[in-house]
């Protein structure tokens, strides 16, 4: 993938964090996914598991670029975060021809996650998912197709179709988007289906449709036009740098790990 000149680049610390992730390949019934995973050191008791879905610039089969391309895939492995929120991290990789929305890939991601839960000391009520761009879309897709699987989710510059959109309200969801993002627009809703829903939803569309829904925890951080360039000197699509920035991510991380999936 050819990056724009103002595309985000990983920090020097990212390579060291990448080395903490082990490598494996999951042979599913319908797809094969290379994946990386992080196991906390010296932690006791069942721990949360965080599933991470990369964006289009992480597509491939090398089992590496999806973590090395940005800090967002490894930031939870930082020692300071692990001290406060120890967790497992699971990072599958998919190719450009097999997007996260492909049913076989989506099912394989869930199967991989379930196998990881069974083979590690995971708190089954605290399984989370997050992703950016294509991975943000993948995150929203998983929430719609598996609405009772995750305890909470973060979608960064994501979008989704209107199919099963009502399932979105069944999982606590935090969205992050820049208003001037033209790669994945925060607003798509301009046509209604026969059932009265948009055919496609950006983050702002989801917020507009569902915020205030009783009993549902929906958060949305929207950054105004020019904000990403002014504060980070990056393309406005790169809102993942906010989530992985230790100066700004504390409230989002605290929100994520505060949730526990209802046993009902």
CATH (domain of 239):
3.40.50.1820
- How many structural domains are present in the chain? 1
The dihedral of CA 159, 125, 260, 70: what is its sign?
A: negative
Whether the per-residue pLDDT at 264 is higher than 60: the answer is no
pLDDT at res. 45: 82
Whether the per-residue pLDDT at 201 is higher than 80: the answer is yes
Whether the per-residue pLDDT at 11 is higher than 60: the answer is yes
Whether the per-residue pLDDT at 183 is higher than 70: the answer is yes
Whether the per-residue pLDDT at 200 is higher than 50: the answer is yes
The whole-angstrom separation of Cα 219 and Cα 221 is 7
Whether the per-residue pLDDT at 192 is higher than 50: the answer is yes
157 assigned to some structural domain: yes
Closest CA to 206 of 128, 140, 146, 261: 140
DSSP 260: -
Average pLDDT of the residues in 233-248 = 96
129 assigned to some structural domain: yes
Total-model pTM: 0.96
Q: Residue 134 is inside which H or E element, if any?
A: helix 134-145
Place of tokens 């949360």: 48
pLDDT at res. 44: 76
1 assigned to some structural domain: no
Average pLDDT of the residues in 193-219 = 89
Tokens of 91: 């990072």
Task: Mean pLDDT check: name the lowest of 25-34, 35-44, 110-119, 240-249.
Answer: 35-44
Q: What's the distance, CA 174 to chain centroid?
A: 10
Q: pLDDT, tens digit, for every residue of 104-162? A: 999 999 999 999 999 999 999 999 999 999 999 999 999 999 999 999 999 999 999 99
Average confidence score pLDDT of the chain = 94
236 assigned to some structural domain: yes
3 assigned to some structural domain: no
Whether the per-residue pLDDT at 10 is higher than 80: the answer is yes
8 assigned to some structural domain: no
200 assigned to some structural domain: yes
pLDDT at res. 96: 75
Tell me the residue range of the domain where 201 lies.
Answer: 13-257
CB 201 within 8 A of CB 161: yes
Closest CA to 151 of 118, 169, 128: 128
pLDDT at res. 70: 97
Q: pLDDT, tens digit, for every residue of 158-176? A: 999 999 999 999 999 999 9
The whole-angstrom separation of Cα 62 and Cα 106 is 19
Share of the chain above pLDDT 70, in %: 96
6 assigned to some structural domain: no
Average pLDDT of the residues in 95-106 = 89
Average pLDDT of the residues in 196-216 = 91
pLDDT at res. 3: 83
The whole-angstrom separation of Cα 245 and Cα 103 is 33
Closest CA to 203 of 216, 217, 180, 186: 186
Within 8 A by CB and 6+ apart from 201, the residues are: 140, 159, 160, 161, 162, 165, 188, 189, 209
């Amino acid at each position: 993938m050819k990056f724009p000149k103002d595309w985000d680049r990983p920090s020097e610390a990212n390579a060291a964090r990448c080395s903490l992730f082990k490598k494996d390949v999951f042979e599913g019934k319908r797809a094969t996914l290379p994946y990386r995973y992080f196991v906390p050191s010296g932690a006791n008791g069942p721990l949360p598991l965080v599933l991470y879905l990369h964006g289009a610039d992480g597509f491939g089969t090398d089992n590496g670029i999806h973590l090395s391309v940005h800090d967002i895939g490894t930031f939870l492995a930082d020692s300071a975060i692990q001290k406060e929120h120890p967790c497992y991290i699971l990072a599958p990789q998919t190719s450009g021809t097999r997007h996260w929305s492909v049913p076989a890939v989506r099912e394989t991601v869930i199967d991989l996650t379930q196998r990881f839960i069974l083979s590690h000391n995971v708190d089954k009520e605290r399984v989370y998912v997050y992703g950016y761009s294509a991975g943000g879309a993948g995150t929203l897709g998983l929430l719609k197709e598996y609405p009772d699987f995750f305890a909470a989710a973060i979608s960064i510059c994501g979008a989704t179709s209107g199919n099963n959109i009502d399932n979105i309200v069944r999982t606590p969801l935090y969205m992050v988007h820049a208003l001037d993002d033209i790669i994945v627009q925060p607003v798509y809703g301009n046509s209604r289906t026969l059932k009265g829903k948009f055919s496609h939803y950006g983050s702002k569309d989801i917020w507009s449709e569902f915020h205030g829904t009783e009993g549902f925890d929906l958060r949305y951080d929207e950054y105004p036009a020019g904000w990403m360039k002014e504060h980070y000197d990056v393309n406005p699509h790169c809102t993942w740098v906010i989530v992985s920035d230790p100066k700004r991510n504390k409230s989002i991380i605290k929100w994520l790990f505060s949730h526990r999936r209802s046993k009902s």
